[in-house]
Amino acid sequence: GELINCTIVNNHASNNGGGVWGSPTMVNCIIWGNTAAFGGNQIFGAIASVHCIIQGGWPGSNIPAIAPGFANPGGNDFRLLATSPAVDAGFGTM
């Protein structure tokens, strides 16, 4: 499957993959603040292609380990600030 232009934030899994579980192709997504009881707080699985901001980065890729620049994450406002590195940008390589 594909995840395109998604923001996946503050989810929890009682097993693996707090944010994403499986092997999707992800394009221009933000995966941040997710937790899992066992493996893969942000992602559990083999990701096909990634153009994203992922908390902690992604091993073996050009995925930056940079904050996404949410307006007010403590207040559940996940809109992007104008200064966000995600504005008008794609990350990683396809």
**Which tens digits make up the pLDDT trace of 23-34?**
888 888 999 999
Closest CA relative to residue 91, chosen from 29, 33, 25: 29
Model pTM?
Answer: 0.85
**Which tens digits make up the pLDDT trace of 40-90?**
999 998 776 667 889 988 877 777 678 999 999 999 999 999 999 888 765
- Contact between 85 and 63 under an 8 Å Cβ cutoff? The reply is no
Residue 39: pLDDT band with limits 50, 70, 90: confident
Q: Distance between CA 47 and CA 65 in Å, rounded? A: 16
| 7-9 vs 35-36, strand pairing mode | unpaired
**Could you tell me the two tokens for 51?**
């153009």
